[in-house]
Amino acid sequence: MIALKVNDKSYQVDASPDMPLLWVLRDLLGLTGTKFGCGVAQCGACTVHLNGEAIRSCVTKVSRAQGQNIVTIEGLSLNNDHPLQKAWVEFDVPQCGYCQSGQLMSAAVLLRENPNPTNQDIDDAMSGNICRCGTYPRIRQAIHKAAEMQKEGGKS
Amino acid sequence: MSSKKPFILIVLLLAAIGITIMSFKGAPVDHNTLATLPKDSIGSVKAFMSVYKVLKSARCMNCHPNGDVPLQGDDNHLHTMGVKRGTDGRGLYAMKCSNCHQAENAPGIHTPPGNPKWSLPPANMRMVFQGKTPRQLALQLLDPKQNGGRSKQQLIDHMASDDLVSWAWNPGTGRTLPPLSHTAFSAQVKLWIAKGAYAPAR
């Protein structure tokens, strides 16, 4: 059994240590907000936080996450009220939506480390998250908006 | 008299053992002492040119780029996804090296290679290999202000024993190896320095 802490909740999972964390999250814990995209860390759809870093869960063995702090899109905020989530709604960012949980998890790391990002900072942070619908302009707008909301006292 | 004989024999035996042990005890090991050979500029440069070929191979040079974007593949193309060095060499924001690169190579082709120390050199010590002539690279490697503060012995140790350097010879599926074995490479580094650490003319 492997001990995991996901979204502030403790789990014991019966998994091989080399099982990808993504499989554990989706198939064993039922946290299906995180998506399978490419399976080889090329697209960013599977991005979750491991100790606050935006790791690609499709290539991360569950053994690396054992005893560590994992946050998925389901745990980004208590009531879907993270400034990014609010800005995403305001700008109607998603089209098909498949990549968006990964986009949000990457953007959250950016805003934590750089509360006032430029367009270049956004590109530097987000270029590993692919959106086949091409929602990039709205993602950029929403991140700027979330940064403003964060400064005005929204949750981060 | 005869009662003293065993005692004398034991004393002699212990003395002989002591002398034998002392004779095998080497001089204290000084890790700061470099192995040296007679100065030989031609031999030293020849050894360095073998080292140079390895350092310019994709497995080494791809993480010692001229810009702030790592390289990928045998054609040394810019790392996809626009990954950047960052101050500490470990990437930026959601694009940090260890977000994808694990402690070991991921299985399969076109998957992220791995090592616990996966990173570029830091921004204040960029240690660029790309675009350097043999002379430029040799002088850079020998200069502690440009080589991470390493003495010649530490340079040899780094090339021979550092596990991130060693990764080049265990790069995972689908990646070519440097042109020399790691053992041969380490030997050429030692030879280069032992013969005087000469830099090629160009």
Query: What is residue B105's DSSP assignment?
Result: P
pTM score, whole prediction: 0.88
* pLDDT given at position B33: 67
- pLDDT value of position A156: 47
Same domain, A96 and A139: yes
- Long-range contacts, stretch B180-186, CB < 8 angstroms, 24+ apart: B180/B50, B180/B53, B180/B54, B184/B50, B185/B50, B185/B51, B185/B54, B185/B159, B186/B156, B186/B159, B186/B160
Pair (A91, A144) in one structural domain: yes
What SS3 class is residue A56? strand
Sign of the C-alpha dihedral computed for residues B23, B25, B28 and B31 taken in this order: positive
> β-pairing, B71-72 with B77-78?
antiparallel
Query: A126 and A69 in one domain?
Result: no
Q: What is the pLDDT of residue B34?
A: 78
State the nearest Cα–Cα gap between B101 and chain A, in angstroms.
Answer: 8
Nearest CA in chain B to A126: B94
Q: Is residue A104 part of a domain?
A: yes
Cβ B98–A41 below 8 Å, yes or no?
A: no
> Measured in Å, how far apart are chain A's first and last C-alpha atoms?
33
Please give the tally of structural domains in chain B.
Answer: 1
pLDDT digits (tens, 9 = 90+) for A114-136: 999 999 999 999 999 999 999 99
Asked whether residue A156 is domain-assigned, the answer is no
pLDDT at B7: 63
Domain that holds residue A24: 2-75
pLDDT in tens, B82-109: 999 999 999 999 999 999 999 999 999 9
- Contact predicate A95/A136, CB 8 Å: no
* Partner residue opposite A60 with nearest CB, options B80, B81, B102: B102
pLDDT digits (tens, 9 = 90+) for A52-99: 999 999 999 999 999 999 999 999 999 999 999 999 999 999 999 999
Q: What is the pLDDT of residues A32-52, one digit of tens each?
A: 999 999 999 999 999 999 999
Is A56 in contact with B103 (Cβ distance < 8 A)? no
Q: Examine the domain organization and report whether A105 and A133 are in the same domain.
A: yes
Chain B residues whose CB is inside 8 A of the A42 CB are: 80-81, 110
Last residue of a domain, one of A24, A59, A75: A75
Classify residue B11: in a domain, yes or no: no
Residue B45 pLDDT grade (very low, low, confident, very high; cuts 50, 70, 90): very high
Shortest Cα distance from A120 to chain B (angstroms)? 11
Q: Which residues in chain B have their CB less than 8 angstroms from residue A61's CB?
A: 102
Q: Provide the pairing of β-strand B91-92 with B77-78.
A: unpaired
The contacts of residue A44 (CB under 8 Å, 6+ apart) are A37, A56, A99, A102, A103, A106, A128, A129, A130
Residue B101 structure tokens: 């690169």
Closest partner residue to B93 (CB to CB) among A59, A60, A113 is A113
Question: Residue B164: which H helix or E strand, with range?
Answer: helix B163-166
> Is the same domain home to A61 and A88?
no
What is residue B29's predicted lDDT score, i.e. its pLDDT?
Answer: 43
pLDDT at A2 over 50: yes
- Residue A141: Cβ-neighbour burial (10 angstroms; 0-12, 13-18, 19+): middle
Position A132 in a domain: yes
| Residue range B159-182, pLDDT digits in tens | 999 999 999 999 999 999 999 999
CA B59: distance to chain centroid? 13
pLDDT at B23 over 50: no
Tell me the C-alpha distance between B148 and B150, whole Å.
Answer: 6
DSSP A137: H
With respect to residue B24, please indicate whether it lies within any of the assigned structural domains: no
A123 in the same domain as A71: no
Indicate the residue of A40, A59, A110 with minimum beta-carbon distance to B93. Answer: A110
Integer Cα distance of B120 and B83 in angstroms: 11
**Ranges of H-type helices in A16-135:** 21-23, 62-65, 83-90, 100-113, 119-126
Number of domains forming the structure of chain A:
2
Full residue range of the structural domain in which residue B78 is found: 34-194
